[in-house]
């Protein structure tokens, strides 16, 4: 049977199909138009922002860290620019293999790799980590030629912290280091994340940490147009970074280094203060360490050497080392006796060479005693028996209440973290400190030891320096401070840091003059006379010898014959001149025996330098009556 095609039917089907196709095309265009309307009109702002983000990168501009200067403008901490080779771990597939290949181009030591892995453990994967710093121009050129082989590795120019005087003043300056997770949490707690974008270093210790906000500055930013490949094309806008402010210290680097030289090879501390303002002129802890070791991350060997050294170089002795004050406590005991009416200055007591109390005999330093002793002689010759008697009469609460006024057992207010308060013993302190009921009770015999600066007494060198500064000015309490002013590094403007409100103890002027005269007697005819015999400048002081509690049971103290670590600590406190003093000092030399032999020469070296700087000469004394030598018996009383 033959089939016939009907043209009209075929045409009708074609038109129907064409109509359906047209509707489909119109629908597609409709969808496209709707989508375009959605993207171009309704969601315009949203996608414009996303497009701009793809085209524009916000690059943080890290501010220059502020410098640290001494009182005369000598730089103690500065910055220098250097090239670093940095790796972003998230962009590296096989890190170990890449490091091996990179070592053929740039010299990378095993120590560099060890430090890198340590930093990698403390850093987020998408952040770059330095593998080498301070690259030479030759190394930069060599890497640049082969950089295509190492995606995720780049060379950057960065500013690095430098401490040009090395170990000098390390404990007060502190140091900076890479921002750790703990530091990051602290930054977030302070809501300062934006200000630390792009910053990799932060103050870790000392003034670098205490004044981090001032030193860091304000981070700026650049809006940079980038190509599709991420290459910077041009800078669209820029908000410059505000550099950190410079710290202008009260420290005089010349005095600082004179004290460090005098303490070289020994363990100890020295603090020198301007009594009128509280400005700290020298702040020494010996031995010291090189803060430059910490800037790029200290290696294990150096850290172990510092951390495990029996000399404890990381201990900030002026504020964290606590010691019995020994006989340097006696001038304050004498002042308490005058103020509270337990003694008069000219009252004479008989020293038989011992003091019996509570069934125990407390021996004086001098066999047979000092004989007739008034207050002047008790300080100049350092008579223990005089203070045994005084302490038993005053009682611990009278002693504790008076000593607290001079800052003993309290924070001094210095602008450094980590200050310890030490121990100012009292009945209340003992009851809170000990757990066993029989140990909570205060025994009057303990007061006898406290009165000569032993027993539970434990104070920092800064507390002793602060106390003698107050005594020298008749009770003026000026809080110790290290930072005098802030300097704008752009225009050089200086903003003085105001002195904290000063208070004055209610001390009778005649009592102050009497104690100062007795301390003057220490260097004229007392236990420190041999040290200061050749000094033309006027100085008053007090020697002290602090017993070390580690003395082996049953052994008697024999100074040089004693094992070094069991020898007594030597103290010396001083101020100069007698009226309107310009400088007050406290120095301790650990396990060095008598203060007149160990600490007093250290203080003299600093005073010599101080008066040399001030323009007052220190010539050799003309020939005259010879100064009698200080006997061992006299030294024992320190």
* Two tokens, residue 97: 């293999």
Is 365 labelled a binding residue? Answer: no
Is 632 labelled a binding residue? Answer: no
Angle between helices 461-472 and 330-340 (to 10 degrees): 50
The CA distance from 507 to 486, in Å, is 35
Is 112 labelled a binding residue? Answer: no
> Nearest CA to 364 among 353, 373, 380, 374?
353
- The answer to whether the CB of 583 falls within 8 A of the CB of 474 is no
* Exposure class string for 33-70: b at 16+ Cβ within 10 A, else e: eeeeeeeeeeeeeeeeeeeeeeebeebbbbbbbbbbbb
* Two tokens, residue 414: 């210095």
Q: Where are the alpha helices (DSSP H) in 263-369?
A: 292-295, 300-308, 317-320, 330-340
Asked about 327 being catalytic, the answer comes back as yes
| DSSP structure string for 204-250 | EEHHHHHTHHHHH-B-EEEEEEE-TTS-EEEEEEEE--BPPPEEEES
Is 137 labelled a binding residue? Answer: no
- The answer to whether the CB of 585 falls within 8 A of the CB of 610 is no
* Two tokens, residue 502: 């000063």
Task: Identify the active-site residue in 168, 250, 327, 412.
Answer: 327
The CA distance from 628 to 189, in Å, is 64
Angle between helices 330-340 and 384-394 (to 10 degrees): 40
- The answer to whether the CB of 583 falls within 8 A of the CB of 273 is yes
- In angstroms, what CA-CA distances link 224 with 56, 240, 413? 5, 14, 47
**What's the number of CA atoms in the CB half-sphere (13 Å) around residue 68?**
32
The CA distance from 182 to 199, in Å, is 15
The CA distance from 99 to 113, in Å, is 8
Q: Write out the binding residues for Zn(2+).
A: 351, 364, 370, 383
The annotated binding site is made up of 351, 364, 370, 383
Looking at the annotation, which residues are catalytic? 327
């Amino acid at each position: 049977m033959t089939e016939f095609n009907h043209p009209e039917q075929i045409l009708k089907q074609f038109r129907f199909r064409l109509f359906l196709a047209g509707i489909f095309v119109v629908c597609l265009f409709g969808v496209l138009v709707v989508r375009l309307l959605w993207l171009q009109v309704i969601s315009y702002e949203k996608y414009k922002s996303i497009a701009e983000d793809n085209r524009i990168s916000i690059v943080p501009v890290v501010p220059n860290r502020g410098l640290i200067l001494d009182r005369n403008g000598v730089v103690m901490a500065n910055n220098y620019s250097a090239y670093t080779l940095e790796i972003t771990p998230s962009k590296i597939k096989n890190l170990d293999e890449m490091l091996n290949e990179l070592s053929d181009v740039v010299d990378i030591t095993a120590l560099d790799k060890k430090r890198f892995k340590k930093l990698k453990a403390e850093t987020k994967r998408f952040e770059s980590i330095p593998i080498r710093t301070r690259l030479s121009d030759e190394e930069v050129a060599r890497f640049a030629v082969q950089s295509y082989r190492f995606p995720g590795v780049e060379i950057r120019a960065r500013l690095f912290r430098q401490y040009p005087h090395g170990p000098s003043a390390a404990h007060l300056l502190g140091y900076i280091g890479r921002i750790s997770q703990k530091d990051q949490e602290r930054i977030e707690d302070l809501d300062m994340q934006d200000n630390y974008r792009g910053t990799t270093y932060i103050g870790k210790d000392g003034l670098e940490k205490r004044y981090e906000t001032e030193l860091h500055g304000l981070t700026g930013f650049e809006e940079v147009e980038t190509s599709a490949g991420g290459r910077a094309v041009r800078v669209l806008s820029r908000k410059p970074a505000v550099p950190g402010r410079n710290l202008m210290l009260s420290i005089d680097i010349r005095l600082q280094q004179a004290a460090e030289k005098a303490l070289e090879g020994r363990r100890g501390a020295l603090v020198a203060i301007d009594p009128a303002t509280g400005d700290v002129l020298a702040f020494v802890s010996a031995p010291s360490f090189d803060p430059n070791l910490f800037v790029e991350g200290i290696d294990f060997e150096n850290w172990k050497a510092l951390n495990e050294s029996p000399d404890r170089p990381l201990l900030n002795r002026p504020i964290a080392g606590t010691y019995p004050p020994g006989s340097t406590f006696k001038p304050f005991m004498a002042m308490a006796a005058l103020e509270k009416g337990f003694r008069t200055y000219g009252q004479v007591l008989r020293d038989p060479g011992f003091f019996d109390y509570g069934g125990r005999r407390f021996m004086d330093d001098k066999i047979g005693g000092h004989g007739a002793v008034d207050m002047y002689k008790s300080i100049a010759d350092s008579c223990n028996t005089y203070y045994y008697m005084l302490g038993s009469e005053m009682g611990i609460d009278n002693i504790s209440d008076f000593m607290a006024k001079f800052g003993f057992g309290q924070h001094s207010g210095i602008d450094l973290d980590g200050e310890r308060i030490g121990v100012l013993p009292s009945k209340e302190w003992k009851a809170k400190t000990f757990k066993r009921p029989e140990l909570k009770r205060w025994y009057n015999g303990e007061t006898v030891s406290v009165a000569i600066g032993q027993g539970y007494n434990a104070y920092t060198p800064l507390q002793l320096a602060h106390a003698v500064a107050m005594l020298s000015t008749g009770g003026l309490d000026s809080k110790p401070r290290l930072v005098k002013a802030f300097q704008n590094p752009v225009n050089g403007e200086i903003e003085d840091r105001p002195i904290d409100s000063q208070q004055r103890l209610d001390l009778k002027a005649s009592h102050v003059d009497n104690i100062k005269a007795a301390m003057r007697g220490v260097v004229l005819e007392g236990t420190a006379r041999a040290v200061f015999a050749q000094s033309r400048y006027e100085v008053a002081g007090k020697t002290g010898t602090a017993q070390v509690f580690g003395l082996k049971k049953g052994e008697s103290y024999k100074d040089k014959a004693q094992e070094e670590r069991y020898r007594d600590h030597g103290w010396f406190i001083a101020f100069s001149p007698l009226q309107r003093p310009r400088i007050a000092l406290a120095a301790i030399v650990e396990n060095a025996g008598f203060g007149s032999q160990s600490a007093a020469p250290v203080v003299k070296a600093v005073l010599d330098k101080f008066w040399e700087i001030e323009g007052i000469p220190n010539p050799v004394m003309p020939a005259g009556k010879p100064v009698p030598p200080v006997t061992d018996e006299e030294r024992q009383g320190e």
